[in-house]
Amino acid sequence: MAFRCSEKHRCGRQTRSSNDCGGPTTRAAAARAAGELALLCLASQGPPQLTILGSLELGDKLRLSSTCTGLRQASLAWFPKLAVTWKHGKPFEASLAAWLERRQAALTSLAFAGGLAYSIRMPDLLRPLSQLRQLSMKHVGLWSPEQLLSLPAHAGLQALTLNSCGLQAMPQALPALTQLTSLSLADNGIKVTVPLATLQRLQSLDLSHCCLKVVPAQLSALTALTRLCLTVPQTKRGWRHLRHTTQLQHLRLPSCGLEALPAQLSALTALTRLDLSHNTVERGWQHLRPLSQLQDLDLGQCRLTAVPEQLSALTALTRLDLACNGTWTCGWQHLQPLTRLQDLNLDECRLTAVPEHFSALTALTRLNLTCNFEMAGGWQHLQPVTQMQDMVLTGCGLTAVPEQLSALTALTRLDLSNNSVKRGWQHLRSLMQLQDLNLEECGLTAVPEQLSVLTALTRLDLSWSKCKRGWQHVQPLMQLQHLGLSRCGRTAVPQQLSALTALTRLELSCSKFERGWQHVQPLMQLQDLDLNNCGLAAVPEQLSVLTALTRLDLSRNELECGWQHLQFMTQLRILDLMTQSLGLSEWKVPLELAALPHLRVF
């Protein structure tokens, strides 16, 4: 709903013209009447108000309530519950308390983030919050967690996060929080977990990187758990405590020093996701066979050299991560029964060819072959995989676009970055659904002619290329929204960019542009412009017409003037001016930027 509450609407009275014809005066009167009706509907509780508010986003409600004085009182009831994130350097206790009291609102979710020191005023702030249900503190130095958690207002907490808070022990006040369903204590120095035993309602528990020596015995009492994350390095004890957590659906055991899979895993038949990454598993794979509902399995960095035979029984798998293992010698045939597999990650697996067994994986929609530096063949085995939508071939040692890619006509994203591709561009012509094409650092000296037919492209990255010709081939890409041209060695903005009027993000960083700025003027939808390290001494005058910009990066330039050209960018939210020679503590924001209402300068 677009409704602007002007002064005449606030007053509610206007001198009526004697002209009753359908001219400007009559239309103005009709607009006033419509405005008054809208105010009446929004100010009064009932179905009309609920219908209108139901179609508004939270931001729209906030803007409407703050700008329209006629709704100030009525809007107090629009926000009965509030979620707040408190960021570093933003003290707000007094203003928040006043806001809550004025609106008689209830704070249900509060998050502290970003290197905050514990404030002695924090208990005073939290004490009256009797309806607080979610409390999150990350990277907050808690000097007195007992004082904080023992507040009566916290008795109803349902979700608590105290990650990276410097805790050396589990807070003794924790057992009293019996309503908790989610608890995260990751990245603390906790060694003892006795207080967990009373938290019978816990459904989600994160104890990753907590200095635990054994699997906590208290897990056997937490039978409602559906999600568990543990990091217990080099332990062989305590896995029996998992036997009773039979409702577990999501289990993460990264970096647990596992050499053999615990037999107790076989009892967790409700598992749909299992993370065993960063372990050196050599045996015990048979304990995975009963996990018939498993959909997501992460075996990244497990030093595997062959696909375990037992994976063939996991026919419900839709995602499998085998990234960063050793040199694969065999076992690919064990993937053939996984006919539901949609996402396969083989990043850094030292493959030299696409395994022939991949032709059976016809449900695949995403394949990651990043950093298999010597991929020399086997591309024909992907031809039957016609549902493929996302393929990542970064750093595969390609010198030509594989011919067989032309059969993958469902592709919407293709990453060929960090390859020295010199030929085979004609094989892209059939990929008419391609929306995202990454050719970063491909050694290009000209924009390939064949790109001109890929008219569905919305994102194209040509960064780290030295394209001196062929720019006319980007002109037909009228749907392009994101164009990356960083480090392209250009001294002038290509003229052909002026045709790309749908662009919302343009990256021109790390090139010494001296001319051609007029070619960005037609890009009236541009919201994000990166001119980082472009050798600029002045803000280009031609930028003044880009009034839709919300983010502008001018960092690492030695700017001395031209600030007036930013005055009309009233939508600008973020302006990056960080340089190598000056910190913001020594640098004053130009006066010309003072009129921009929402601007944050870095």
What structural domains does the chain harbor? 7-78 (no CATH), 527-602 (3.80.10.10)
pLDDT of residue 8: 34
Instruction: Summarize pLDDT for 94-152 with one digit per residue, the tens.
Output: 566 666 666 556 667 777 765 555 454 566 666 666 678 888 888 776 656 777 777 77
In the structure, what pLDDT confidence band is assigned to residue 2 with cuts at 50, 70 and 90? very low
DSSP three-state, residue 474? helix
pLDDT of residue 15: 36
pLDDT of residue 98: 65
pLDDT of residue 86: 56
pLDDT of residue 3: 32
pLDDT of residue 1: 33
How many other CB atoms sit within 10 Å of the CB of residue 565?
18
Give the whole-angstrom CA distance, residue 523 versus residue 508. 14
The answer, yes or no, to whether residue 13 has pLDDT greater than 90, is no
DSSP three-state, residue 349? coil
- The mean predicted confidence, pLDDT, of the chain is 84
Of all residues in the chain, what percent carry a pLDDT higher than 90?
58
Amino acid at 545: V
Which residues lie closer than 8 Å to 519 by C-beta, 6 or more apart? 493, 494, 495, 496, 497, 498
- The distance of Cα 4 from the centroid of its chain, to the nearest Å, equals 33
What's the rounded mean pLDDT across residues 218-229? 96
pLDDT of residue 235: 74
Contact 519, 495 (CB under 8 A): yes
Instruction: Summarize pLDDT for 340-355 with one digit per residue, the tens.
Output: 999 999 999 999 999 9
Amino acid at 584: L
Instruction: Summarize pLDDT for 412-451 with one digit per residue, the tens.
Output: 999 999 999 999 999 999 999 999 999 999 999 999 999 9
What's the rounded mean pLDDT across residues 574-592? 65
pLDDT of residue 137: 83
The answer, yes or no, to whether residue 328 has pLDDT greater than 60, is yes
Structure-token match 């300068």, residue found: 601
pLDDT of residue 7: 35
Instruction: Summarize pLDDT for 513-558 with one digit per residue, the tens.
Output: 888 999 999 999 999 999 999 989 999 999 999 999 999 999 998 8
pLDDT of residue 184: 96
pLDDT of residue 128: 63
Instruction: Summarize pLDDT for 144-176 with one digit per residue, the tens.
Output: 677 777 777 778 899 999 998 888 988 888 999
Q: Tell me the residue length of the chain.
A: 602
How many other CB atoms sit within 10 Å of the CB of residue 9?
20
